[in-house]
Chain A
Amino acid sequence: METPNAIEAANVSFGYDGDLTLKNVSFNAGQGEMIALIGPNGSGKTTLLKLLLALLQPSCGTIALFNLPLSSYAPKERAKQIAYVSQQPALSFPLTAFELVALGRYPYASRLGLSANDKTTIEEALERTHAKHLSARHFSTLSGGEQQKILIARALAQSAKVVLLDEPTLHLDLRYQLQILAALKGLCTQKRTTVIIVLHDINLVSMFADKALLLRASKLCAFGPVKEVVTEENIKDLLAVDIKAMADPETGVRYFVPRVPS
């Protein structure tokens, strides 16, 4: 028997007549795939993520999560299947990193507190994001990169089979960017988690993602394996920049070098 797709979006649009922020987008996300959403600012990437999370309702089209309509899930049941890392939220209260990650266990929580299983899951999430040593620290005292690791660990603690991330590498130094993407990639290959991630860095897409979904002006311009759709020509078109692709002779990974606009 074939395993079902994690997400099937068919002809999804969002917005009001004449002012659509997403037009007729269709794509399938298989289990264990890492899919990068790329496109210029305002092209509808965050809108698409919010539709997949049922934070927004499509004005037409359908979205299925593991073969069932997304709208048929109760909130907690949905949260067990799909988790979200938004662009950094402001947290103005003193919570420790561990307490924050533990919030990810909410869909499973009993009012009696954390079970042994909850604790193992939280520890594992912290380990995956290389953040175990931070667990007793107060979240607000952490650096931007450390905070991002904790926020991602919170989403992982939700034990969802699909994880959506909105620019998780923003404001991070290169080492943390690579660490976080490697951790997410590990989740895809080891646990067959589907990861859908908004990224601005085309090189990170090229290095880590299995597939890419290119959005421009609210429309899907290409969707497919990175090797096929993340090409010099497509990226030039998509981002309206002069860019040159070069292949790493050892790994074959394609890298993109922008040119100074003339």
Chain B
Amino acid sequence: MIRTHLLRWIFVIAFFVSVLLALSVGPSFISIFAMSETDKIILLYLRLPRVLSAFFVGGGLALAGAIFQGLFRNPIADSYLLGVSSGASLGAAAAIVFRLASPLASFAAVSFFAFIGALAALALVFYFGHSNDGFSIFRLLLAGLGVGLFLSSLVAVLMLAAGEELKALIFFFLGGFSSSSWDTAWISLACIPLAVLAACYFAAELNVLLLGDETAESSGVRTRRLQLIYAVVAALLTSISVSVAGLIGFVGLIVPHMIRLRAGADHRTLFPLAFFVGGLFLVLCDTAARTLIAPAELPVGIVTSLVGVPIFLYLIRKENSSYGL
């Protein structure tokens, strides 16, 4: 009990320290206790939207991973492996190339098409992963890999055909938060908290689903409805993240994994923790990305992988027994 309490306080303190750090460092160091007028503008219009975007995207990716893992009862499911990120990329890329929307002028439209793409990818995964006797998790993951690869190839084809939009596309897929502003931050601020609430609201039912579809159904859970709700929520989280920050790997895979090892698999605690820790992780990674080789920036996806992959490999080595894989 004391350890959990201590951990909670460490988290809260870590949160404030990280946010403070992320707001302070950069091309010019800003002390929030003694700000000039310029400092205030930099803080309010550049760093604050950037830190908020990183927090919500990181939290969204981690939560999407946690949802997919619970939904498919498999600790390696996440938006990338299931092809949902590729679907979101394709949707966003199509929107940009066909000028359905330009990424800066109507950012919401790009997010919207990314969402459509993510939903379409999930529908394909469910269609091909489905068999007469229900869903086989193994088959779903294989279908996800296939769908993901196919959609990524389509994105590549789009890039070849992009012509003068190519620059916008490349800029979009490089991702990261260097172009974050309130124009792009507001959509994650608006959509992601809603998705978090929905995810937490149905968490107790998702717990029952861990026992298998039939047992869950016999316990009074409407399993099809639940799967549909979570598929839409996770697709929303993934598409917002992709349209704000491009492709950022490993947050959705390792963060829920780490939390499960410490705090157990109960989704009622896992979901809020995954969101919070995922957000914190990406805020720190983004801070590192823009300060380590300043004035240049590292792509934040490289930082998450450089930090995340070793942690991930260490964890699977250490904890392979408790997953029954």
Contact = CB atoms under 8 A, between A and B. Distances in A.
Contacts of B18: none
Contact of A75 (B214, B220, B323): B220
B211 A106 contact: no
B219 A106 contact: yes
A94 B264 contact: yes
A79 B204 contact: no
A102 to B, nearest CB: 9
B324 A92 contact: yes
B16 to A, nearest CB: 29
Contacts of A83: 218-219
B315 to A, nearest CB: 13
B214 A90 contact: no
A55 B217 contact: yes
B258 interface: no
A138 B217 CA distance: 24
Interface string A101-122: 0011011010100000000000
Given A50-B214, A55-B217, A86-B215, A140 B324 contact: yes
Contacts of A89: 211-212, 215
B75 interface: yes
Contacts of B75: 92-93
Contacts of A103: 207-208, 210-211, 219
Given A99-B266, A106-B221, A93 B212 contact: no
B139 interface: no
Residue with the greatest number of chain A CB neighbours at <10 A, chosen from B201, B210, B219, B264: B219
A109 B204 contact: yes
Interface residues of A, number: 34
A75 B322 contact: no
A95 B266 contact: yes
Contacts of A99: 264-266
A55 B214 contact: yes
The residue in A53, A93, A96, A141 that gathers the most chain B C-beta atoms within 10 A of its C-beta is: A93
Interface string A14-31: 000000000000000000
A82 interface: yes
Given A75-B222, A95-B265, A103-B219, A84 B211 contact: no
B158 to A, nearest CB: 37
B7 interface: no
B306 interface: no
A90 B215 contact: no
A87 B220 CA distance: 18
* Among A79, A92, A140, A154, residue most surrounded by chain B Cβ atoms (within 10 Å): A92
Interface in A141-172: 141, 154, 158
Q: What size tier do the contact residues of chain B reach? A: 20 to 34
Given A89-B212, A93-B210, A99-B266, A79 B220 contact: yes
A76 interface: yes
B322 A94 contact: yes
A59 to B, nearest CB: 16
A82 B214 CA distance: 13
Contacts of A50: 214
A75 B266 CA distance: 22
A78 interface: yes
A247 interface: no
Contact of B73 (A90, A111, A141, A158): A90
Contact of B220 (A100, A107, A140, A154): A107
Interface string A55-95: 10000000000000000000111111011101001111111
A82 B217 CA distance: 11
Interface string B37-69: 000000000000000000000000000000001
B102 interface: no
Contacts of B220: 75-80, 106-107
Nearest to B211: A89
B74 interface: yes
B215 to A, nearest CB: 5
Contact of A111 (B204, B215, B260, B325): B204
B268 to A, nearest CB: 9
A112 B12 CA distance: 24
Contacts of B35: none
Interface string B305-325: 000000000000000011111
Pairs A-B, 9 closest by C-beta atoms = A79-B220, A93-B265, A76-B220, A89-B212, A84-B218, A107-B220, A75-B220, A140-B324, A106-B219
Interface of A: 50, 53, 55, 75-80, 82-84, 86, 89-96, 99-100, 103-104, 106-107, 109, 111, 138, 140-141, 154, 158
Given A86-B214, A138-B322, A140-B323, 5 more contacts: A53-B217, A86-B215, A90-B73, A94-B261, A111-B204
Interface of B: 69-70, 73-75, 201, 204-205, 207-208, 210-212, 214-215, 217-222, 260-261, 264-266, 321-325
6 contacts: A53-B217, A79-B218, A93-B323, A95-B264, A103-B208, A106-B204
